[in-house]
A and B are shown apart, each in its own frame.
Chain A
Amino acid sequence: MAKVSLKINGKEISQDVPDSVMLSDFLRDYLSLTGTHVGCDTSQCGACVVHLDGNSVKSCTALVADCNKSEIVTIEGLAKNGKMHPMQEAFKKHHGLQCGFCTPGMVMSAVDLLQKNKDPSEQQIRDWLEGNICRCTGYQGIVAAVKDASSKM
């Protein structure tokens, strides 16, 4: 067992967790933060992307014990006072989702991109979203959403 202390979406959490539990399973099964999705479970599809100390990572391939004393933001942490984050608004406006399975990871990756590059080109957006796979949209709406959000963030 590992005793972990984390700050998740601004809330301090301290808990005993078995050593082999992944961050994605901890979020979903221990904290009921089921916005973070698990698709491939082998760090390829990107549905599980969250922010770990300000950088996007695949939470299915990070041990909770390894994240001790870190700050984590999940998709549930983006909306403020019942108002959607500009990236969430943009995904809605540009039909950047259909079934919605990839969307939490897609949005968290895109937010990280704009933290690092305020005005990315279409190619830079596509390159950055390399690790997020969507089987519905064909990516056009997603890229348009990220481009639009970049003018509002």
Chain B
Amino acid sequence: MKNFNFKSPTNTKEAAKLYTGKATFLAGGMSLLPAMKLRLAAYSDLINIKKIKTLSGIKISSKSLRIGATTTHAEVAASKEVEKTISSLSKLADGIGDPQVRNRGTIGGSIANNDPAADYPSACLALNAIINTSKRKIPADKFFKGMFETDLKKGELIESVEFEVPEKSGYAKFPNPASRYAVVGVYVSKLKSGIRVAITGAAHSVFRSKELEEALTNNFSPSSIDNVKIGSKGLNSDIHASAEYRAHIIKVMAKKAVSSC
């Protein structure tokens, strides 16, 4: 790994000031540090945001659940409030990686990285989340741009993620047995504004399935998924699963997700 400077500001203003040259923000580091070791990424400065107290914590109102960027997966999974408000989200957090990754990894880091097989992006899309950054509010629908690509601009820092509290929701994942990343993960929600179905792991980036959303709008039950046709075009094909297999698993996981609602 190439050498870099480590900086640890205690507020967001200081963090923005320290962001110079080829810098990046460091939260849990569960993706960033291995990527740097493998020379897939190199930075001159890592700006640790974990000492910024305002970026951590969970806040619940009647309509939304706000999770601070540096809140760890373990904290989300252990939160009784999250469990009570959006239980599918606790389940998702509890299934990320392994316990040690959950003790360090954060929600802000996960969505900023936008790994095509990460869990949280599907929750953001399905729960119509707003990504609050140091500069603006970005709807999840506009945030995830492509493989490891988001709408974040240089130096823009995710401060929190605000999820809409759904009437019903469920998440089902077919995990890679080694990494626990999603080979396919399906997040289903019934919001006031309608049904949303977000799929992760299956393509170059998380996406919503119009076919599944239409079928579930007509009848919100697992059986309504039986007749939906999911094409394999555009889906990932790799050593873990072919595109055809992923297309099949999308339906299986969607049914499981709806059953768990």
A46 to B180, CA, bound (A): 14
A88-130 at interface with B (beta carbon < 8 Å):
109, 112-113, 128, 130
Contact A61 B34 (CB under 8 A): yes
* CB of A153 closer than 8 Å to a CB of B: no
CB distance from A39 to the nearest CB of B (A): 13
Q: Scoring A residues 35 to 77 as 1 if CB is less than 8 Å from chain B, else 0, what string do you get?
A: 0000001111010010010011110011101101000000000
User: Which residue of B6, B98, B103, B180 contacts A2 across the interface (Cβ within 8 Å)?
Assistant: B6
A66 in contact with B29 (CB, 8 Å): yes
- Say yes or no for B227: interface residue by CB 8 A criterion: no
Closest residue of chain A to B29, judged by CB?
Answer: A61
Contact B100 A46 (CB under 8 A): yes
Residues A41 and B37 in contact, CB atoms below 8 Å apart: yes
Structural contact, A20 and B30, CB atoms closer than 8 A: no
Instruction: Chain A residues near B100: list those with CB within 8 A.
Output: 43, 46, 49, 56-58, 109, 131
- Total residues of chain A contacting the partner, CB 8 A: 29
Given that A19-B6, A20-B1, A66-B50 are known contacts, is A46 also in contact with B98, CB under 8 Å in the complex? Answer: yes
Interface size class, chain B: 20 to 34
Determine if A138 is an interface residue (Cβ-Cβ < 8 Å): no
Which residues of B184-209 are within 8 A (CB) of A?
none
Specify which chain B residues have a CB less than 8 angstroms from the CB of A132 in the assembled complex: 98
The answer to whether the Cβ of B148 comes within 8 Å of any Cβ in the partner chain is no
Contact of B99 among A42, A56, A62 (CB under 8 A): A56
- The total of interchain contacts (Cβ-Cβ below 8 angstroms) comes to 74
B101 close to chain A: CB less than 8 A: yes
Q: Could you list 7 examples of A-B contacts with CB < 8 Å?
A: A42-B37, A56-B103, A58-B101, A61-B30, A62-B104, A130-B97, A131-B101
- Inter-chain contacts of B179 with A (CB < 8 A): 44
Whether a CB of chain A sits under 8 angstroms from the CB of B62 is no
Q: Report the bound CA distance from A66 to B179 in whole Å.
A: 25
Residues of the B chain whose Cβ atoms lie less than 8 Å from the Cβ of A63? 6, 29, 33, 46
- Interface presence of B38 (CB below 8 A): yes
B48 within 8 A of A: yes
Compute how far the CA of A131 lies from the CA of B179 in the bound complex, rounded to whole angstroms.
8
Residues of B within 8 A of A22 (CB): 33
Of B8, B48, B50, B99, which one neighbours A109 at CB under 8 angstroms? B99
